[in-house]
Amino acid sequence: MSGRRGSRFFFNVRSESTLVRDATGCVLRDVEEAISAALVAGIKMVSPLGCRNASRFEITDGKGTVVATVPIVPDN
């Protein structure tokens, strides 16, 4: 292991009229790993939050800058 630390990413959930902010975030290696986490989590992560009609994750860095947007695909 290189000892290199990751960065904290926040997975805000966006619907047409609402933004639910992730207050804790998650430390991950890089943006690509954050996108992968959002794709894997998808609707499973959103449902417990009570977000209806969630359409996407807005992944932000520690400064609040949106670094990626990932669509949320319903788990059918």
| CA 3 remoteness from chain centre | 24
pLDDT tens by residue, the chain, 76 residues: 445 679 999 999 888 888 889 999 999 999 999 999 988 877 566 655 555 567 889 999 999 999 999 988 665 5
Residue at 67 is within a domain: yes
pTM, full prediction:
0.79
Residue at 53 is within a domain: yes
pLDDT at 55: 81
Residue at 49 is within a domain: yes
Residue at 11 is within a domain: yes
Residue at 1 is within a domain: no
43 lies in which domain range? 7-71
As for how many domains the chain has, the answer is 1
d(CA 49, CA 57) in angstroms, rounded, equals 13
pLDDT at 45: 63
